[in-house]
A and B are shown apart, each in its own frame.
Chain A
Amino acid sequence: MASKPPRYSAAGLLTKGARGQTWPRVWREVPLQKKYDVVIIGGGVHGLATAYYLATNHGITNVAVLDKAYLGSGGSGRNTAIVRSNYLTPEGVAFYDRSLTLYNSMAVDLNMNVMFSERGHLTLAHNDSALRTMHWRAEVNKLQDIDSSVIDPNEIKKLVPSLDTSNESRYPILGALYHPPGGIIRHDAVVWGYARGADHRGVEMHQKTEVLDILVEGGDGPDGKGPGGKVTGVRTSRGDISAPIVVNCTAGWATLISDMAGVKLPISTRPLQAAVTEPVKVFLPAVVVSGSLHVYVSQTDRGELVFGAAVDPYNNYNIRGSLDFTEGLAGHVLELMPGLSRMRLLRQWAGLCDMTPDYSPVMGFTPVEGFLCDVGWGTYGFKAGPVAGETMAECIATNSTPKLIEAFKLERFAAGNLVGEKGAAAVGH
């Protein structure tokens, strides 16, 4: 196997500075070629991880990752970085657990400090039905050896003293699903780490290269696109590229790309908003999620509180955000932690999410030969980046669907075999 990307060294930086030498770029900028073995559309964590594992695990290095903007400009640079594996379906649990394993060795594998902090993850229940779902999830999790259990308000108070666990609150906390291996990570470092690792093995990253069309021959639809067709390449803002394999890793833009190939996806695009406060002394040791109150909170190492909620209530490609969202969010945070009422919000932002009917992704082959998808990541896809990259690379290299993503095939919608994860992924991303 090829060597790892080099370690960063402070001594090297100082020596180079003193001698007036150049400090190498994180990834190369090379001319765009006319032909690749694999073209990956979308330079988020999914596209980059797929490229990295194609090169690392399968020796496929004639690969280009194209992004219309910059790497990490989509959801991968906008998410709230929650990583966990306490899902609801056995298929989901096995899949996300593999991602957690890859995250655990990532800093070493990529020689990049990704600041993974396994600080524990709490999903609060404020009513009987939520508590029942927590028990259900805990039992599914335990069967697959995931550290996950339901705890009572006293234990919650011990873990997170700032939470109002009294009976006096408007929605008293009845219990929580506690998942000690869950936590947060530095999402930018993950994106750059995969880009650097892929670059080290010869993959090319092309930013500001927008895909305008997918070239397909022999399909049933207009222009020879659609089912039965075969991909021949892509048309970009910088010219045509031929490639026998084209992978759609464009999350919120997924249907715009798949429409270009004549492939219909069960995806609608919704913005997800988040906000961050001014920094304060660290007081919140775990990630806290409340589905009933539509809010989640974590504290960064710098002391800022990061807040998020559920997606906007209608389809949209506009990421301006809205005041009513911020207002609702603040109200919900105060239900949980009344002591925060004087804290100031610093920033608010949004990213596009590719929502599927069952809150599970769409992965693997499509009815157009050579056109693959790794989309449908909704509000929960950052944590899946490593395992999705690993399995998509295997899918491409072996031309068969790996077992871990068998359940996430596009065909499941026509067959009616949905993988319902709403209970584990609607608010707690």
Chain B
Amino acid sequence: MLLVPCPNCGPRNSSDLHYVGEAQARPNPSEATPTEWREYLYMEDNPAGWLRENWYCRSGCRQFFTLERHTGSNEFRNPPMPGNKVGGKA
């Protein structure tokens, strides 16, 4: 099983977490047009390589965090920033 390095709990089985998707900045709700919202909701980078992505530590510390994973080798790099609340799509 993929071990995800949670900044608070340490390495955890990926089944303990929820994969959120590419780490994107959320548009400002009071200014974004519907088209911008939909772009944010539906369009994601899908590289075969390094991807900055968000995870939610569902069965552990219940925090969101961002890290970088290689979508071919499944290695992680750049230790994630603890407590970096990113929110995002379910």
User: A residues near B, CB below 8 A?
Assistant: 253, 255-256, 264-269, 313-318, 322-324, 357, 413-416
Residues on A with beta carbons closer than 8 Å to the beta carbon of B41: 357
Q: Are B42 and A314 touching (Cβ within 8 A)?
A: no
B42 touches A317 (CB 8 A): no
Whole-angstrom distance between the alpha carbons of A324 and B73 in the complex? 18
Further 5 A-B residue pairs, CB within 8 A, beyond A256-B46, A315-B71: A253-B48, A256-B48, A315-B53, A317-B48, A357-B42
Tell me whether A413 and B51 are in contact in the complex, defined as CB-CB below 8 angstroms, given that A314-B19, A324-B15 are known contacts. no
Query: What are the residues of chain B within 8 A of A267 when measuring CB–CB?
Result: 46
19 A–B contacts from the bound complex (CB under 8 Å): A253-B48, A256-B48, A265-B43, A266-B42, A268-B44, A313-B19, A314-B19, A314-B53, A315-B21, A315-B71, A316-B72, A318-B71, A318-B72, A322-B2, A323-B1, A324-B15, A357-B41, A413-B42, A414-B39
Tell me the bound Cα distance from A316 to B21 in angstroms: 11
Task: Please tell me which one of the listed residues A255, A324, A416 contacts residue B46 in the complex, with CB atoms under 8 A apart.
Answer: A255
**B59 interface hit (Cβ, 8 Å):** no
Q: Are B35 and A414 in contact, CB atoms less than 8 angstroms apart?
A: yes
A317, B35: Cβ atoms under 8 Å?
no
Chain A residues within 8 Å of B69, by CB: 314
Q: How far is the CB of A407 from chain B (nearest CB, A)?
A: 16
Nearest residue, chain A, Cβ from B48: A317
| B84 contacts chain A at the CB level, 8 A cutoff | no
Give the complex CA separation of A315 and B2 in angstroms.
12
Asked whether, in the complex, the Cβ of A317 is within 8 Å of the Cβ of B71, the reply is yes
Binding site for A on B (CB under 8 A): 1-2, 13-15, 19, 21, 34-35, 38-39, 41-44, 46-48, 51, 53, 69, 71-74
Q: Is the CB of B46 within 8 A of A413?
A: no
In the bound complex, CA of A264 to CA of B34 (Å): 18
Residues of B within 8 A of A316 (CB): 71-72, 74
* Given known contacts A315-B71, A413-B43, A416-B34, A268 and B21 CB-to-CB distance under 8 angstroms: yes
Q: Kindly list chain A residues whose C-beta atoms are within 8 Å of the C-beta of B34.
A: 416
When C-beta atoms are compared, the residue in chain A nearest to B18 turns out to be A313
A324 proximity list for chain B (CB < 8 A): 1, 13, 15
Whether the Cβ atoms of A268 and B46 lie closer than 8 Å is: yes
Task: State whether A314 touches B72 (Cβ < 8 A).
Answer: no
**A138–B39 CA distance with the chains assembled, in angstroms:** 33
B38 touches A315 (CB 8 A): no
- The reply to whether A414 and B2 contact each other, CB–CB distance below 8 Å, is no
Measured between beta carbons, the chain A residues less than 8 angstroms from B21 are: 268, 315
Note all chain B residues with C-beta closer than 8 A to A265: 43, 46
Which residue in B1, B44, B74 is a CB contact (below 8 Å) of A266?
Answer: B44
Q: Is the CB of B46 within 8 A of A314?
A: no
Residues of A within 8 A of B2 (CB): 314, 322
| Contact of A313 with B14 in the complex, beta carbons under 8 Å | yes
A89 → B minimal CB distance (Å): 17
A416 in contact with B38 given A268-B44, A316-B74 (CB within 8 Å): yes
Rounded to whole angstroms, the CA-CA distance of A317 and B69 in the bound complex is: 12
Chain B: which residue is nearest A320 at the CB level? Answer: B74
Shortest Cβ distance from residue B49 to the other chain A in the assembled complex, whole angstroms:
9
A295 to B39, CA, bound (A): 32
Complexed CA–CA distance, A129 and B39 (Å):
31
Partner of B72, one of A313, A317, A322: A317
Considering the complex, give the chain A residue whose CB is closest to the CB of B37.
Answer: A416
Q: How far is the CA of A264 from the CA of B42 in the complex (A)?
A: 10
Q: Are A315 and B72 in contact (CB under 8 A)?
A: no
Q: Nearest Cβ distance between residue A24 and chain B, in whole angstroms?
A: 38
The smallest C-beta distance from A340 to any residue of chain B, in angstroms, reads 24
CB distance from A50 to the nearest CB of B (A): 23
Q: State A63–B5 Cα separation when bound (angstroms).
A: 49
Residues in chain A near residue B43, CB distance under 8 A: 264-266, 413
